[in-house]
Amino acid sequence: MNALVATNRNFKLASRLLGLDAKLEKSLLIPFREIKVECTIPKDDGTLASFVGFRVQHDNARGPMKGGIRYHPEVDPDEVNALAQLMTWKTAVANIPYGGAKGGIGCNPGELSLSELERLTRVFTQKIHDLIGIHTDVPAPDMGTGPQTMAWILDEYSKFHGHSPAVVTGKPIDLGGSLGRDAATGRGVLFATEALLNEHGKTISGQRFVIQGFGNVGAWAAQLISEQGGKIIAVSDITGAIKNSKGIDIPSLLKHAQ
């Protein structure tokens, strides 16, 4: 099912449980603003290439909007729309004073050189710089992007608005990034898992876990769960899977994965 259809269906279920009236429900489903921009760059071989970039700003009633920017060939408006909406519900449920947004560029970062990625990121930033900002919408890294991408956004945005380290999160520590940001999403998996187990009168320690994905999030989750005494019996990623019913040695696996 299309991500937007699924997200809207879940929201409507929640809305009915809360007894929201139909017009408010409709208003919450329509994003505040969607932007789609053309990003044309010279490639290293001198030819031109055009990519489409998106930023969907779903809701800012509770504070500046927050959400990642992903680079992936299958980025499409519906997916970005759905993810922006989910950011609104996530910040609201966690009761932090932010709204929800999401963005991305339809490209395959693996096929672009570092210098092409820099040019693409800078052009995208030029196209949306008037629509983001510390009090408006604060991007973050997501699939296919990372601290280096945030550093380029920060630098390009600062050409227009002056030194503005707060315009993105997930930037390199040296440019004002937060310690612990690296592990944060994986640590969130740990916390959510702990909360779920506690509701059933259990703890991490003594449970067995299977982890799907071993990128930044999965690897940190594996390491932190294992430190809490959880037994990881299987791990998979895009290249394959391993299994050990006595528990995988996560530190060794991490060393191997690097």
89 binds a copy of itself (CB under 8 A): no
Q: How far is the CB of 33 from a copy of itself (least distance, A)?
A: 5
- Cβ closer to a copy of itself: 33 or 181? 33
- Cβ closer to a copy of itself: 86 or 219? 86
In the list 20, 35, 143, 242, the residue contacting a copy of itself (rule: CB under 8 A) is 35
Beta strands in 10-145 (DSSP E): 33-42, 48-59, 65-72, 99-106, 137-141
The residue written with tokens 């700003």 in the block is 57
96 binds a copy of itself (CB under 8 A): no
Q: Which stretch binds a copy of itself (CB under 8 A): 6-14, 36-44, 141-149, 193-201?
A: 36-44
Q: Which residues contact 163 (CB under 8 A, 6 or more apart)?
A: none
42 binds a copy of itself (CB under 8 A): yes
In the list 52, 189, 197, 217, the residue contacting a copy of itself (rule: CB under 8 A) is 52
Q: How far is the CB of 188 from a copy of itself (least distance, A)?
A: 25
| Measured distance CA(155)–CA(99) in Å, rounded | 24
Q: Which residues contact 180 (CB under 8 A, 6 or more apart)?
A: 187
73 binds a copy of itself (CB under 8 A): no
In the list 40, 178, 198, 212, the residue contacting a copy of itself (rule: CB under 8 A) is 40
In the list 49, 92, 143, 184, the residue contacting a copy of itself (rule: CB under 8 A) is 49
167 close to 156: Cβ distance less than 8 angstroms: no
| Measured distance CA(220)–CA(239) in Å, rounded | 18
3-state helix, strand, coil in the chain (%, to 5): 45, 25, 30
181 binds a copy of itself (CB under 8 A): no
Sheet containing 231-237, strands listed edge to edge, beginning at the edge strand earlier in sequence: 208-212, 231-237, 240-243
- Cβ closer to a copy of itself: 64 or 186? 64
